[in-house]
Structure 1
Amino acid sequence: MAASNDAGVVVVFDFDKTIIDCDSDNWVVDALGASQRFDELLLHLPWNSAIDAMMGELHSQGKSMDEIAGSIRTAPLSRHVVAAIKTAHALGCELRILSDANAFFIDTVLAHHGLAGYFSEISTNPASVDAGGRLRITPHHDFRHGSCSSHGCALATCPPNMCKGKVMEEMLQELSVAAAAGMRRPSRVVYLGDGRGDYCPTLKLAERDYMMPRKGYPVWDLIAGDRRAVRADVRGWADFKDLETVLLDIIHECAVAAMVEQDGGGQVVVGMVVPECCALPAPKVAMAVLPKAIHASN
């Protein structure tokens, strides 16, 4: 049976420029005074390989893991993002991260802000510290033995080291199997992102799902370029206060939709009480069922 605290909503966050308001790789490189060298590496290396090489050079220059960790801990993270994460979790949503950053930077930021326990899964580029104390960053999908990606996606927006669309497909399949086995409720996925790499997973979402693109960023422009290609309900956000409001509105809407499905499609109006523990609670209002936009096939 599905757990009683399962809201039937899986919220999947990108990390860079979505949870934190910067690119984590650039933030660390800039903080450690290596911006020019990193730009030089990018002239002949893919991004993932360049950041690994950069960490090797910083280690050779005597930069310690404590210095690297200290730099990423200063990355900007809005209180509205913290509130959105805590409120969504308290409402029974499962939270995950799907990011082309790396495990060390993400884990360090989440631990620093007391958020590590809110996420059930983090899919990103692996990171480890070798015997010499040097940070190694490896690709999520291994392409190091060839010039092309190994993930098989032909979409130009996917970097060779990680196809988020492939990860999203695996995630959706996992959720479907678990629901069919009665281990969880059928899930609606809410995906938040900003970059070109967030477009491929957007295309994998179904009509019952939601995409939250950051307005004015690459994924917003890609979606706007061919809205019919995206089956999910698209809800943009402009700033982090907006992110919190839009996400909590979607969660309320999903609760309404779940009640309608449970009651056989009747018109139901419900209210969702937000736990008092959350720093910035959502409005305690009743929400009516909203009509879904008609999707035109390609």
Structure 2
Amino acid sequence: MLCVVSNLVSVSESLTKSNNSVKLQLQRRMKTLVVFDFDHTIVDDNSDTWVIRSTPEQTLPDWLKKSYQRGRWTEYMGRVLTYIGEQSVRPEHMRAVMESIPFTDGMIELLTFISEHKKDIDCIIISDSNSVFIDWVLHASGVKSAMDDVFTNPASIDARGYMSVRCFHAHDCRQCPVNLCKRRVLQDFREKQAKADVHYERICYIGDGGNDFCPIKELKEGDIAMPRKGFTLEKRLCKAISEDSEALHAKIMPWASGNEILRQLRALIE
């Protein structure tokens, strides 16, 4: 009888060790999801205003500037792009101008690192720019392979050579511009990945602007919010924490250079 009990204990211990081993292997296989904004984060300027450099006067007329309505930037950019087309600016010239937009210091190195560690990192962009601008810039820089997906306002070029842009989606979030709620996009992406049995150990959210605040509020303990130092997002996060120390669950790690993010990301996965 003692021998039988001993064997039962041995089998139980073996199963426990096996289950623990499987859990550890699953934990090791879980990736980090890195989420980027684009303007003033990956690139060191606003792509929507940078394109104005492609016009003959490199500026917009006052009537067009005054047509902007708060919260409706994408609709305004549609009028800007139509105006640029009417100035006989060809898409080739516009593309050359967009490809000259400077990257934020250290971002090329960071995106190169991500592209070399795809077994550990999934990476997406959620941006209020547009699909054509982002595609042009990423292609020219040679770092498009870092990205698994890009969520932004869809844009296209018609037979005349005019570019047009549409709002990404409709939503009911009162905190975000009418064309894009980044929190909703992040939620939808995670749900889609979960259905494919892809789960993330952590999310690192990297941004600079006020529209990055909404998705960061949804981050959990163990996630990391990375606001660019001196920009709107950092100020809003500081204000939220000062008003309620438990308002945010993610760890806050401000940055000034992509190299700082690279060091943190390397430490997380290696």
TM bin (shorter chain)? 0.7 to 0.9
Residue 19 of structure 2 corresponds to none
Gapped runs of 5+ residues in structure 2?
1-21
Alignment correspondent of 1:121: 149
Shift, 1:40, TM fit: 3.3
TM-score (norm 1): 0.73
1:197 maps to 2:211: yes
Give the secondary-structure state (helix, strand or coil) at the position aligned to 1:128. Answer: strand
Q: Percent identity?
A: 27
Q: 2:13 corresponds to which residue?
A: none
Which of 174, 189, 193 is matched with 1:171 structurally? 189
1:57 aligns with 2:72: no
In 2, the alpha carbon distance for the partners of 1:119 and 1:217 equals: 24
The answer for the alignment partner of 2:18 in structure 1 is: none
Summarize deviations over 1:151-197 as a string: whole Å, max 9, x none.
10011xx111111111112123234444xx3xx35331111000011
Give the Å deviation of 1:215: 1.2
Q: Which amino acid aligns with 2:240?
A: D
Larger radius of gyration: 2
Amino acid at match of 1:65: P
Structure 1 residues 6 and 61: CA distance shift in structure 2, 3 A: farther
Structure 1: gaps of 5 or more residues: 142-149, 256-271, 273-298
- What letter matches 1:52 in structure 2? G
Do the aligned partners of 1:125 and 1:139 also contact (CA within 8 Å) in 2? yes
How many residues end up aligned between the 2 structures?
A: 238
| Higher-helix-fraction structure | 2
Q: 1:133 is matched with which residue?
A: 161
- From 80, 102, 116, the equivalent of 1:90 is 116
Alignment RMSD: 2.4
**2:221 counterpart SS class:** coil
1:153 to 173, 182, 185: 173
Say if 1:88 and 1:199 are closer, same or farther in 2 by CA, change over 3 A. same
Q: Deviations over 1:57-86 (max 9, x none)?
A: 111111110111111000001461111111
Counterparts of residues 1-298 of structure 1 (less than 5 Å): 8-32=31-55, 33-37=57-61, 40-45=64-69, 46-78=72-104, 80-91=106-117, 92-141=120-169, 150-155=170-175, 158-178=176-196, 181=197, 184-227=198-241, 228-238=246-256, 240=257, 243-253=258-268, 255=269, 272=270
The answer (yes or no) to whether the contact 1:38–1:54 under 8 Å persists in 2 is: no
